[in-house]
Structure 1
Amino acid sequence: MRTGEPLPAVEEVLAALATGLWHWDTAAGQVTVDAEAARLLGLPAEPTRLTEAQVRARLHPVDWNEITGVVQLAVAEGTLAEVRIRIMDETGRVLRVVRSRSKPSFDREKKAYELIGTLQEVTEPAPGTPAGRSAVTGDWRRSREAFLLDAGRALAEARSTAEVLRVAAGLSMPGFSPDGLAVFGISGDRLTIIGHHGQQPGDEGPFVHMALETDYPAAEVVRTGRAVYLSSPEEYKARYPLTWPLAQRFNRQSWAFLPLTVAGRTMGAWMAAFTYPVAFTPDERSVLTTVARMLAQALSRAGAAETERELTDGLQRSMLPVIGPKIPGMSIAARYVPTGGGLQVGGDWYDMIPLPGGSPAGSDRFALVMGDVQGHDVRAAGLMGQLRTALRAYAAEGHRPDAVLSRASRFLHGITHTEDPGELRFATCLYVEVDPATGTVEGARAGHMDPAVRMPDGTVLHRPTAGGLPLGIDPDSDYPTTRFTLHPGETLLLCTDGLIETGGHDLDSGWNRVREIMEAHDGDLDALADALVQAVHGPSSHHTTGPLTDRREDDIALVLLGRHPAGADGAVAVRPPVRRSVLTVAQAEPERIATARQQLRELLHDWPSPDQVDSAVLLVSEMLTNVLVHTDADALLIAEVAGAPGERRIRVEVADTSDDLPHKRRPGELASSGRGLVLMELLADTWGVAPRGEGKSIWFELGEKSGGGEDTDTDALLDALAVDEVID
Structure 2
Amino acid sequence: MRTGEPLPALGDVLAGLDTGLWHWDTAAGLVTVDAVAARLIGLPPEQVSLTEAQVRARLHPVDWNGITGSVQLAVIEGTLAEVRIRIMDGQDRVVRVVRSRLKPAYDRVRKAYVLTGTLHEVTEPAPGTPAGSGAVTGDRRRSREAFLLDAGRALAEARSTQEVLRVAANLSMPGFSPDGLAVFGVEGDRLTVVGHHGHEHGADNPFSMPLDTDYPAAEVVRTGRAVYLSSPEEYEARYPLTWPLAQRFGRRSWAFLPLTASGRTMGAWLAAFTHPVAFTPDERSVLTTVARMLAQALSRAGTAENERALTDGLQRSMLPRLGPQRIPGMSVAGRYVPTGGGLQVGGDWYDVIPLPSGRFALVIGDVQGHDVRAAGLMGQLRIALRAYASEGHRPDAVLSRASRFLHGISEADPAETRFATCLYVEVDPGSGVLEIARAGHPDPMIRLADATVLTRPTAGGLPLGIDPDADYPTTRLPLEPGETLLICTDGLIETGGHDLETGWQRLRGILEEHKGDQEELADALVQGVHGPSSHHTTGPLADRREDDIAVLLLCREGEGCGCGAESDTALPPVRRTMLTVAQAEPERIAVARQQLRELLHDWSSADQVDSAVLLLSEVLTNVLVHTDTDALLLAEVTGGGNGRRIRVEVTDACDDLPHVRSPGELASSGRGLLMVELLAHAWGVAPRGEGKSLWFELYETERTGSG
In the TM superposition, residue 379 of structure 1 has moved relative to its aligned partner by 3.8
* Match of residue 437 from structure 2: 444
Choose 380-389 or 370-379, whichever is displaced more.
370-379
The answer to whether residue 541 in structure 2 is matched with residue 550 in structure 1 is yes
**Residues 459, 226 of structure 1: alpha-carbon distance in 2 compared, 3 angstrom cutoff:** same
1:454 corresponds, among 447, 450, 466, to: 447
Per-residue deviation, residues 74-94 of structure 1 (Å, max 9, x unmatched): xxxxxxxxxxxxxxxxxxxxx
Matched, 1:497 2:490: yes
Q: CA deviation at 1:481?
A: 3.7
Q: 1:189 Cα deviation (Å)?
A: 2.5
| AA at the equivalent of 2:297 | A
Q: Secondary structure at the match of 1:205?
A: coil
Verify: 1:531 aligned to 2:524, yes or no. yes
- Deviation per CA, 1:15-68: give whole Å up to 9, x if none: xxxxxxxxxxxxxxxxxxxxxxxxxxxxxxxxxxxxxxxxxxxxxxxxxxxxxx
Q: Tell me how far 1:153 sits from its aligned partner.
A: 2.7
Distance 2:396 2:465 in 1: 15
Assess if the C-alpha contact under 8 Å between 1:525 and 1:560 holds in 2.
yes
Q: Any idea what the Cα deviations from partners look like across 1:515-563, whole Å, max 9, x if unmatched?
A: 122112355433432333344567778xx63435534614332211223
How far did 1:426 drift?
3.0
Q: Distance in 2 between the 1:138 and 1:567 partners?
A: 72
Judging changes above 3 Å, is the alpha-carbon distance between structure 1 residues 373 and 156 closer, same or farther for their aligned structure 2 residues?
Answer: farther
**SS of alignment partner, residue 425 of structure 2:** strand
| Structure 1 equivalent of residue 420 of structure 2 | 427
Q: CA deviation at 1:218?
A: 0.5
Q: Could you tell me how far 1:193 is from its partner in structure 2?
A: 1.3
Distance 1:547 1:211, change over 3 A: same
Distance 1:185 1:338 in 2: 32
Kept in 1, the 8 Å contact 2:518–2:564? The answer is: no
- Contact 2:333–2:553 (CA under 8 A) maintained in structure 1: yes
Aligned letter for 1:511? W
For 1:510 and 1:172, how far apart are their aligned partners in 2? 52
Matched, 1:394 2:388: yes
Q: How does 1:555-594 map to 2 (within 5 A)?
A: 555-565=548-558, 571-573=565-567
Deviation at 1:217, TM superposition (A): 0.6
Question: Does residue 1:353 correspond to 2:347, yes or no?
Answer: no
Q: TM-score, normalised by structure 2?
A: 0.55
Q: Report if aligned partners of 2:338, 2:346 keep a CA contact under 8 Å in 1.
A: yes
Partner of 1:166: 166
**Alpha-carbon distance, 1:485 to partner:** 2.8
SS in 1 for 2:275: coil
Aligned to 2:122: none
Aligned pair count reads: 432
Identity of aligned residues (%): 78
Residues 439 and 486 in structure 1, CA contact (< 8 A), matched pair in contact too: yes
Give the match for residue 306 of structure 1: 305
Counterparts of 1:183 and 1:136, CA distance in 2: 28
1:466 to 459, 463, 467: 459
**Quick one: which of 369, 373, 387 aligns to 2:363?**
369
Structure 2 residue aligned with 1:274: 273
Residue 517 of structure 1 pairs with residue 516 of structure 2: no
SS of structure 1 residue aligned to 2:476:
strand
Quick one: structure 1 residues 573 and 278, their matched pair in 2 at CA, closer, same or farther if it must change by over 3 Å? same
**Kept after mapping to 1: 8 A contact 2:325/2:332:** no
- Is the 2:449–2:483 Cα contact (8 Å) retained in structure 1? yes
**Cα deviation, residue 489, structure 1:** 2.9
Q: How does 1:624-643 map to 2 (within 5 A)?
A: none
Which residue of structure 2 aligns with residue 403 of structure 1? Answer: 397
Distance 1:380 1:202, change over 3 A: farther
How far apart, in 2, do the equivalents of 1:512 and 1:135 lie?
Answer: 72
Distance 1:332 1:426 in 2: 27
Q: Is the 8 A contact 1:489 1:564 kept in 2?
A: yes
Moved over 6 A (4+): 134-137, 538-541, 566-570
Find the counterpart in structure 1 of residue 193 from structure 2: 193
Say which SS state the counterpart of residue 271 (structure 1) adopts: strand
Aligned to 1:235: 234
Matches within 5 A, 1:672-711: none
Residue type of the alignment partner of 1:313:
D
Amino acid across the alignment from 1:237: E
Equivalent pair of 1:348/1:372 in contact (CA under 8 Å): yes
- Structure 2 residue matching 1:206: 3-state secondary structure: coil
In 2 relative to 1, CA 475–284 (structure 1 residues): closer, same or farther, beyond 3 Å? farther
TM-superposition CA deviations, 1:601-629 (whole Å, max 9, x none): xxxxxxxxxxxxxxxxxxxxxxxxxxxxx
Q: Kindly indicate whether the alpha-carbon contact (under 8 Å) linking 2:517 and 2:564 is maintained by their aligned counterparts in 1.
A: no
User: What CA distance in whole angstroms lies between the structure 2 residues aligned with 1:471 and 1:137?
Assistant: 74
CA contact (8 A) 1:179 1:275 kept: yes
Is the Cα–Cα contact under 8 Å of residues 537 and 549 in structure 1 kept in the other structure? no
Return the TM-score normalized by structure 1: 0.54
Paired AA for residue 381 in structure 1: A
Residues of 1 paired with 2:155 and 2:415: CA distance? 40
| 1:380 alignment partner in structure 2 | 374
Q: Indicate how the Cα distance of structure 1 residues 141 and 431 shifts in structure 2: closer, same or farther if over 3 A, else same.
A: same
Q: Secondary structure at the match of 1:482?
A: strand
Aligned to 1:249: 248
- Asked if the contact 2:400–2:472 (Cα under 8 Å) also holds between the matched residues in 1, the reply is yes
Q: Quick one: distance in 2 between partners of 1:327 and 1:570? A: 15
Assess, with a 3 A threshold, how the Cα gap between structure 1 residues 237 and 531 changes in structure 2: closer, same or farther: same
Tell me, in whole angstroms, the C-alpha distance in 2 between the residues paired with 1:523 and 1:266.
53
Is the contact between residue 348 and residue 384 of structure 1 (CA under 8 Å) also seen in structure 2? yes
CA distance 1:230–1:503, shift in 2 (3 Å): farther
Paired with 1:461 and 1:498, the residues of 2 have a C-alpha distance of: 20
Deviation string, structure 1 residues 705-724 (Cα, Å, up to 9, x no partner): xxxxxxxxxxxxxxxxxxxx
Distance 2:445 2:371 in 1: 29
Q: Is the 8 A contact 1:193 1:204 kept in 2?
A: no
Q: Secondary structure at the match of 1:557?
A: strand
Aligned pair in 2 of structure 1 residues 281, 442: CA closer, same or farther (>3 Å)? same
1:170, distance to aligned residue in structure 2 (A): 1.8
Measure, in 2, the Cα distance between the counterparts of 1:181 and 1:272.
5
- Cα RMSD of the aligned pairs, angstroms, is 3.4
